[in-house]
Amino acid sequence: MKMQLMTRSIGAPINRIDGIQKATGAAKYAYEYPVEGVVYLFPVQSTIARGRISAIDVSAAQALPGVITVLSHENAPRLAHLANTELEVLQTDAVAYNGQFVAAVIAETSEIARQAAELVVVHYEELPHHVELRADDKTLYKPPSVNEGHDVPDRFVGDVESALASAAVSLDQTYTTPTEHNNPLETHATIALWDNAGLTIYDSNQGSHAIRDTIATAFSLLPERIHIVTQYVGGGFGSKLFAHPPIILTVMAAQVTKRPVKLALTRQQMFSQTGYRTPTIQRIRLGADNHGHLTAIAHDVIEQTSTSYEFAEQVAVVTRRMYAAPNRRTTHRVARLDMPVPTYMRGPGECPGMFALESAMDELAIACGMDPIELRIRNEPTIDPETGYPFSSRGLVACLQEGARRFGWQQRDPTPRMRQEGRWLIGTGVASSTYPAYYYPASASVQVDHRGMYQVHIDATDIGTGARTALTQIAADVLDAPLEQVQLEIGNSDQPAAGYAGGSSGTSSWGWAIFNAANALHTKLQEECGGVIPAEGLSARGTFDTNPELQQFAIHSFGAQFAEVHINVDTGEIRVPRLLGVFAAGKIVNPKTAHSQFMGGMTWGLSMALHEASVLDTRYGNYVNHDFGGYHISTNADVGTIDVVWLEEDDLHVNPLGTKGIGEIGIVGTAAAIANAAFHATGIRVRDLPITLDKFL
């Protein structure tokens, strides 16, 4: 499929074109737009996990000077029914989770709104709740699908039980990961204003078009009447892919007050209002012959969803394609809890799934008396075991080998607890990494004026990844123009539709649409204008629907993660002075921003390994550590050296640009590499994230 593309800008490590705006504060984030006559919103949240509101007293709040109105289910405008009932904000007296919006104050200042919200008195009739994910839960069920309908929940190939029973070496272990909250640095923020043009929304999200459509449905509006502006976003990590209650509430408040309304969530509100990663309980069974050839892989996942909407993460799906075992079993079972709706977060599916699988592979290597890299190489499949398709490219072995060379793996004594310097035990570990190349439909328009200056429009979103820069580079090359002659406009739902900045799909999908638009412009120029740009300029549109090669090839990125950990003999304190990630992820558009993305992903892997966990209070169904004081993430002081390397990969099947997507693969496998290194250091296997010091004492 590949056309020969002259790459002048692609591959160049150019600085972010919006870097100066961002560093100087000139770049406007959603909450920062100056809007005349704006008023402020502050929500009131339920303090029970399940039940109904028996009475609500807003008189004290309403009486506070500066309060414009107080909304509750008693007076809120009616919304249309939505598939996700969590979005049906203030529509009933029912409470489905702790932290649900039960009222909201709109006031002249944010301080007044917040004070008044505390004066709202809500009485509840509480019902028994079910909030804790447990392996012995009798209500666990098989969801119709996982990954929002993209994958089947269960796959059975061959006879796993017999293969396990007769395996020379076998393993049966359970790995658990906690609830984690996405927590982008910029909390979810929205300004909504209604005027003659319809509804304008300044919003922090990962893709305006889908959110626009949800708002259109909720408020029974034509999508064309809604204009969402999303120029700069301070991170998303999955929590800003879909509409959540705060944007609905803000639009509703603007509708009721007929004033522009602003809402920025507090950090605490982020722990109940914007999704989270489900906790997982993962049982892995592996069987192998005496030479380390896998004969069976079983990966059974237990996870949670909510009563408001069924979101089931694809945790075991990755196991279907990783290794060449003839007998395979992957299942997902789900508990429907009185909790908020979980969502995608940082490498969903692959990230928690590979923690379990790659920890188990390390344990199997030890059981077989084999080097863990050799074990993986020995089980490298020649085709995708799941689909039977060849891989469009699969750089796993090359990444493992290159990583081993760079990391100094050869000198490693595999015996655990053999290296100690002072009071610190030292260990090293490795894990595989992978992430699918996802594609979502997108369209773009291209205009050229008589001076040869180009304008490209697409409703893509730069959530901090550098997409604005990478897409400009792509546009310049597909238009065969110098970078300076190309102006890219993104982040506005009035522009040609594009999928969200998620699933590491943006560069490939948006880039392909821009590629098609550039080709359409070129054709038009030749066929209609004889190759000469007319005085009034010329424009064309291009659309990308799907990658047809997905019907013939399995298209995924691969990588290898290496970690060195130091664990204090006396305190159990764990430090990770060195991480190395080697990736084979297609063409790299901008080495500078790509390096940051890989490094960022690995940093989140470190964070997942050592810090992140939302601690549930089962009495109330809320999280006790709902702020950055209690919910720890990796900071600069936690990060040592992170080396990022990628292998040149010229994949003819991914798209005309050769890109596979790099946003999420960096996190996948990192936690397993660290857990494996921790075992190597101490002889203690931690199968329950995060790896905290108490687990070594």
Which residue in the set 43, 99, 342, 348 belongs to the binding site for ligand MOS (CB under 6 A)?
A: 348
User: Does 664 qualify as catalytic in the annotation?
Assistant: yes
The answer to whether 278 contacts ligand MOS (rule: CB under 6 A) is no
Tokens in use for 379?
A: 């089980």
Q: Which residue is nearest to ligand MOS (CB)?
A: 238
Going from the C-alpha of 388 to that of each of 337, 380, 396, 472, 554, the distances in angstroms are 37, 14, 18, 37, 8
- Closer Cβ to ligand MOS, 345 or 481, answer by number: 345
In whole angstroms, give the CA distance from residue 87 to residue 218: 8
Q: How far apart are CA 296 and CA 160, in angstroms?
A: 6
Q: Which of residues 239-268 bind ligand MOS (CB under 6 A)?
A: 241
148: left (phi over 0), alpha (psi -120 to 50) or beta: left
The count of other CB atoms within 10 Å of the CB of residue 473 is 26
Within 491-550, which residues bind ligand MOS (CB under 6 A)?
502-503
SS (H, E, C) 13-57: CCCCCCHHHHHHCCCCEHHHCCCCCCEEEEEEECCCCCEEEEEEE
Which residue, 51 or 348, has its beta carbon nearer to ligand MOS? 348
Task: Check residue 435 for interaction with ligand MOS (CB under 6 A).
Answer: no
Question: CB of residue 236 vs ligand MOS: minimum separation in angstroms?
Answer: 5
Minimal distance, residue 210 CB to ligand MOS, in Å: 12
Q: Is 236 in the site for ligand MOS (CB under 6 A)?
A: yes
Tell which phi-psi region holds residue 466, choosing left (phi > 0), alpha (psi between -120 and 50) or beta: left
How many Cβ atoms are within 10 Å of 135's Cβ, its own excluded?
13
* Residue 87, CA atoms < 13 Å, CB-side half-sphere: 20
- The distance of closest approach from Cβ of residue 577 to ligand MOS in the complex, given in angstroms and rounded to an integer, is 28
Catalytic residue among 303, 310, 564, 664: 664
Task: Give the integer Cα–Cα distance in Å for 198 and 180.
Answer: 37
Smaller CB separation from ligand MOS, 346 or 685: 346
**653 and 644 Cβ atoms separated by less than 8 Å:** no
Candidates 42, 344, 440, 553: give the one binding ligand MOS (CB under 6 A): 344
**Torsion-angle region of residue 160: left (phi > 0), alpha (psi -120 to 50) or beta?**
alpha
**197 backbone dihedrals φ, ψ, rounded to 5°:** -75, -5
User: How many Å apart are CA 504 and CA 525, to the nearest integer?
Assistant: 33
Closer residue to ligand MOS (CB): 163 or 665: 665
Binding of residue 345 to ligand MOS (CB under 6 A):
yes
Nearer to ligand MOS, 206 or 561 (CB): 206
Give yes or no for residue 669 binding ligand MOS (CB under 6 A): no
Q: Restricting to residues 555-584, which ones interact with ligand MOS according to CB under 6 A?
A: none
Residue 206 binding ligand MOS, by CB under 6 A = yes
Q: CB of 80: closest distance to ligand MOS in angstroms?
A: 26
Judged by CB under 6 A, does residue 184 bind ligand MOS? no
Query: In angstroms, what is the minimal distance from the CB of 606 to ligand MOS?
Result: 17
State in angstroms the smallest separation of the CB of 501 from ligand MOS: 7
Closest to 293 (Cα-Cα) out of 397, 210, 381, 422: 381
Q: What are phi and psi of 166, to 5 degrees?
A: -100, 10
Q: Does 666 bind ligand MOS (CB under 6 A)?
A: no
**Binding range to ligand MOS, per CB under 6 A, among 96-104, 234-242, 541-549, 596-604:** 234-242
Cβ 239 to ligand MOS, closest distance in Å?
8
346 binds ligand MOS (CB under 6 A): yes
Kindly list the residues in this chain that would bind ligand MOS in the complex (CB under 6 A). 206, 236-238, 241, 344-346, 348, 502-503
Catalytic site positions:
664
